[in-house]
Amino acid sequence: MTVPFLDLAAQSAEIAAEVLPAWRRLFEAAQFVGGEEVASFEREFADFVGVAWAVGVANGTDALELAYRAVGVGAGDEVIVPANTFIATAEAASRIGAIPVPVDVDPEHLLIDPAAVEVAITDRTRAIVPVHLYGQVAPIEALEPLARAAGIPIVEDGAQSQGALRHGRAAGSLGTIAATSFYPGKNLGASGDGGAVTTDDEELARRVRVLANHGSEVKYRHEVVGVNSRLDPIHAVTLRAKLRRLRAWNALRQDAARRYAQLLADIPGVATPRSLDGNSDVWHLYVIRVADRDRVLAHLAAAGVAAALHYPEPWYSSAAYAHLGHRPGVCPIAERAAGEILSLPMFPHLTPEQQQLVADSLRSA
Ligand SMILES: Cc1ncc(COP(=O)(O)O)c(C=O)c1O
């Protein structure tokens, strides 16, 4: 037996009877862009998140860029981004000429540290971006007073947390505006790239829709220089089928997380993750910490267990961001964690037997 990091084929099998006939209908009607499936998914996803508006776009990075632009981030502005996130959170700011400013994370959950945000705010800051990392929700209530005092919007990056709750409120409904990704491996994944922006603010939703449609609300009248960023109907079909199952699939991930916690509890040198108080996490990733991580990773690979790193280094340490000139030590907690974290296989269809093999392999490592 081997254990994959993620079993997407199992998800496809579960939804095939709904998706394949709907795809055929789209194909026969030549409905390749826009249309009822996209509009329905946008309504259903807004309801799921608990906001008034959801705008489908081409991917999560575009969703972030368009959300940043909608709240007024532009060239030369600073955007506060946690050190431990996928590079896209920063990259979307860079694409519009803004400057991503790294802030450190808390040592236990590796979520954005509000105390670090407070220090990082300047008169050039135009957005604070809590990333709901690994299926958690960032401590938004500690950021709200800082954002309010400085008059800065909160842009949530909810790419890894569809369905997660903080004090009963869903990720994607907590900030001024939120971006999410439907990359196939996400908790809610499309059959290719996709993303969405969610907000309660009608004007912000309108701006995102205009920006995503070549800056145009009325055909061939262009208010601003926009982009072409669409959620395609074939993806809306998949997303609608998966959205109907998302609560159940997230519950299976929660069961799997509980099983891991039991199986790994007495393995020396393994620190298992715990939810932040007030959170109902959806375990996009199950990230443990171990000493001598690279040796453990190699041992798991040899045992047929696919593990991964999220992320091997903070985004500002990559060659892409050398020009910002951040030296090692800027975000020491994130930098140290990058050498210890290890993401174990986690997906709704993960079996107890597969988890046992992961635990046995870790113990022997
Ligand atoms: C935290 C985070 N933000 C943004 C993105 C970007 O999304 P996409 O790959 O759909 O552009 C991802 C995932 O890839 C992500 O994990």
CB atoms within 10 A of CB 318: 13
Centre of ligand 1 to C-alpha 69, Å, is: 17
Ligand 1 atom closest to the Cα of residue 195 is: 10
Calculate the average pLDDT of the chain. 98
180 CB less than 6 Å from ligand 1? Answer: no
Average pLDDT over residues 345-355: 98
Instruction: Tell me how far CA of residue 155 lies from CA of 225, 266, 268, 355, in angstroms.
Output: 22, 39, 39, 35
60 CB less than 6 Å from ligand 1? Answer: yes
9 vs 1: CA distance, rounded Å: 17
Q: How much is the pLDDT for 25?
A: 98
136 CB less than 6 Å from ligand 1? Answer: no
Q: How much is the pLDDT for 151?
A: 98
Cα torsion 347, 350, 354, 356: sign:
positive
Ligand 1 atom closest to the Cα of residue 64 is: 4
Residues 137-169: tens digit of each pLDDT: 999 999 999 999 999 999 999 999 999 999 999
Do the beta carbons of residue 38 and residue 58 sit within 8 Å?
A: no
Q: How much is the pLDDT for 40?
A: 98
Residues 77-91: tens digit of each pLDDT: 999 999 999 999 999
Centre of ligand 1 to C-alpha 292, Å, is: 28
Average pLDDT over residues 94-112: 98
Centre of ligand 1 to C-alpha 85, Å, is: 9
Q: How much is the pLDDT for 98?
A: 98
Centre of ligand 1 to C-alpha 355, Å, is: 26
63 CB less than 6 Å from ligand 1? Answer: no
Q: Identify the structural domains of the chain with CATH numbers, from first to last.
A: 8-243 (3.40.640.10), 246-364 (3.90.1150.10)
Average pLDDT over residues 272-295: 98
105 vs 332: CA distance, rounded Å: 9
Residue 150, class by beta-carbon neighbours within 10 Å (0-12 exposed, 13-18 middle, 19+ buried)?
middle
Q: What are the phi and psi torsion angles at 319 (to 5°)?
A: -55, -35
89 CB less than 6 Å from ligand 1? Answer: yes
Closest C-alpha to ligand 1, atom 12: 159
- Residue among 61, 66, 134 whose CB has most ligand 1 atoms within 8 A, to mutate: 61
Question: Is the pTM for the entire model greater than 0.85?
Answer: yes
88 CB less than 6 Å from ligand 1? Answer: yes
Closest C-alpha to ligand 1, atom 8: 60
Centre of ligand 1 to C-alpha 152, Å, is: 23
Residues 8-52: tens digit of each pLDDT: 999 999 999 999 999 999 999 999 999 999 999 999 999 999 999
Do the beta carbons of residue 173 and residue 198 sit within 8 Å?
A: yes
Average pLDDT over residues 107-127: 98
93 CB less than 6 Å from ligand 1? Answer: no
42 CB less than 6 Å from ligand 1? Answer: no
- Residue among 105, 160, 180, 181 whose CB has most ligand 1 atoms within 8 A, to mutate: 181
Q: How much is the pLDDT for 60?
A: 99
Q: How much is the pLDDT for 330?
A: 97
